[in-house]
């Protein structure tokens, strides 16, 4: 501890434990608590960091780990700060396994937000740490995540190389295999092969349906499957996938708000293609409101704005459409994503009718 830091208030662990417990209760989501109820957490993070109380910081992170692992609260500034401070703490204490786990989770949140380059670096480091510890499967999972990041950065070839290696190291009966299958499906869709994408997503969904505790993974696969089915001319099947995904997520009280928003965004794309503009806009508004409340998800936000833009353009509202597309580019620029790549993907996908840029 830093002996020079004095006079700081002690952390009230009872209040923090009460907050963590409350967030685990049915019907309670991060957004349903008043802002004042969260104040104890940034106060605790700042206090423990100033005191350099590394064990306490790790203890604090463990207290909120279940919430941070789900995708609603992970992007909240306080949890990002907690992750960064906890990573420093683990390094100081030379707790490499803890550090690897913290980095892996931190990488997930960075990726969900859209900071793919930073996320890739974090995943790489986590993977190396696990490798050094002899935990090859954990290392594999983190390397797998780098594929998502490279794909998002437009490095499709590199992403495919990573996924191919990951699949080679994953047995066919391994339930976790559904994750790289899903990423490979995206890459196939990028290439224009929707039938291959569908087959891979069907395989992933089947694996997840037969795996206990994989329903959230299934809820994440179904929107992709719905998107592809819609592009293949099966809108009824697509809607069924979207509905099933939302039904799964409805049982989790907005703890997976980003995932729910993503499902609605994809459903909105289908509605746009079908000319049901009012429904598309309603879905997009819902998606927007889901992810505005706590933390920022620019990566999903630009997609929502993009689809909005196309809806308005198709309705003949050129001015609003222009505003939305400008907003799309603003988010992408803030994430360091190339406008040129966006234009290329847009043209390519529209021509091949393989959906909108990802």
Q: Verify binding: residue 267, another protein, rule CB under 8 A.
A: no
Among 8, 69, 250, 347, the residue binding another protein under the rule CB under 8 A is 8
Of the candidates 159, 301, 337, 356, which one interacts with another protein according to CB under 8 A? 301
Q: How far is the CB of 344 from another protein (least distance, A)?
A: 20
- Segment interacting with another protein (CB under 8 A) among 86-94, 150-158, 161-169, 300-308: 300-308
Q: Going residue by residue from 195 to 234, which x/- string records binding to another protein, judged by CB under 8 A?
A: ----------------------------------------
Which residue carries 């998606």 as its tokens? Answer: 287
User: Given candidates 294, 310, 345, 355, which one binds another protein under the rule CB under 8 A?
Assistant: 294
- Does 43 participate in binding another protein (rule CB under 8 A)? yes
> Of 231 and 287, which CB lies nearer to another protein in the complex structure?
287
Token pair for 51: 């005191």
Distance CA(47)–CA(11), nearest Å, equals 7
By CB under 8 A, which span of 34-42, 52-60, 98-106, 171-179 interacts with another protein?
A: 34-42
Kindly state whether residue 277 participates in binding another protein, applying the rule CB under 8 A. no
Q: Is 111 in the site for another protein (CB under 8 A)?
A: no
Q: Which of 51, 108, 125, 254 binds another protein (CB under 8 A)?
A: 254
Q: Which two tokens stand for residue 90?
A: 């683990």
Tell me which long-range contacts 143-147 makes (C-beta under 8 A, separation of at least 24). 144/179, 144/180, 144/183, 145/104, 145/107, 145/108, 145/111, 145/119, 146/120, 147/180, 147/183
Q: First and final CA of the chain: distance in angstroms? A: 46
Instruction: Confirm or reject binding of residue 338 to another protein (CB under 8 A).
Output: no
B/e letters for 32-52, b = 16+ CB within 10 Å, e = fewer, are: eeeeeebebbebbbebbbebe
Q: Which of 138, 78, 137 is nearest to 109 (CA)?
A: 78
Region of 295 on the Ramachandran plot (φ > 0 left; ψ -120 to 50 alpha; else beta): left
Task: Check residue 292 for interaction with another protein (CB under 8 A).
Answer: yes
Candidates 37, 84, 91, 276: give the one binding another protein (CB under 8 A): 37
User: CA 205, CA 209: separation in Å to the nearest integer?
Assistant: 6
Among 34, 168, 236, 351, binds another protein (CB under 8 A): 34
Q: Which residues, 6 or more positions from 81, have their beta carbon under 8 angstroms from its beta carbon?
A: 42, 45
Pick the piece of the chain touching another protein (CB under 8 A) from 24-32, 53-61, 198-206, 261-269.
24-32
Tell me the C-alpha distance between 273 and 270, whole Å: 5
For another protein, the binding residues (CB under 8 A) are 8-9, 29-40, 42-43, 46-47, 254, 257, 281, 285, 288-289, 291-294, 296-298, 301, 305, 308, 312, 319-320, 323-324, 326-327, 330-331, 333-335
């Amino acid at each position: 501890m830093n002996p020079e830091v004095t006079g700081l208030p002690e952390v009230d662990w009872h209040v923090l434990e009460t907050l963590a417990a409350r967030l685990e209760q049915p019907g309670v989501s991060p957004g349903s608590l008043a802002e004042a109820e969260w104040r104890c957490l940034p106060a605790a993070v700042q206090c423990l960091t100033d005191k350099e109380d590394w064990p306490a910081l790790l203890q604090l992170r463990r207290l909120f780990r279940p919430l941070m692992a789900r995708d609603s609260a992970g992007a909240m500034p306080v949890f990002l700060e907690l992750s960064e401070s906890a990573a420093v703490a683990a390094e100081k204490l030379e707790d490499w396994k803890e550090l690897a786990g913290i980095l892996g989770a931190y990488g997930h949140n960075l990726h969900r937000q859209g900071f793919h380059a930073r996320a890739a670096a974090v995943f790489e480091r986590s993977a190396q740490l696990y490798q050094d510890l002899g935990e090859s499967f954990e290392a594999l999972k983190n390397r797998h995540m780098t594929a998502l990041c490279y794909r998002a950065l437009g490095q499709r070839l590199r992403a495919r190389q990573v996924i191919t290696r990951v699949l080679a190291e994953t047995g066919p009966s391994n339930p976790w295999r559904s994750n790289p299958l899903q990423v490979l499906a995206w890459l196939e869709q990028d290439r224009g092969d929707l039938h291959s994408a569908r087959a891979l997503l069907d395989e992933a969904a089947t694996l997840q349906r037969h795996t206990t505790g994989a329903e959230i993974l299934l809820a994440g696969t179904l929107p992709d499957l719905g998107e592809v089915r819609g592009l293949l001319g099966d809108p009824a099947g697509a809607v069924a996938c979207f509905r099933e995904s939302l039904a799964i997520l409805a049982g989790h009280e907005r703890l997976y708000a980003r995932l729910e928003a993503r499902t609605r965004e994809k459903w909105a794309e289908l509605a746009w293609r079908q000319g049901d503009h009012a429904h598309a806009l309603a879905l997009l508004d819902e998606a927007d409101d889901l992810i505005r409340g706590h933390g920022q998800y620019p990566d999903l936000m630009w997609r929502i704005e993009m689809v909005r833009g196309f809806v308005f353009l198709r309705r003949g509202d050129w001015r609003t459409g222009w505003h939305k597309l400008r907003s799309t580019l603003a988010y992408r620029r803030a994430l360091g994503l190339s406008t040129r790549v966006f234009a290329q993907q847009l043209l390519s996908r529209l021509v091949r009718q393989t959906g909108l840029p990802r």
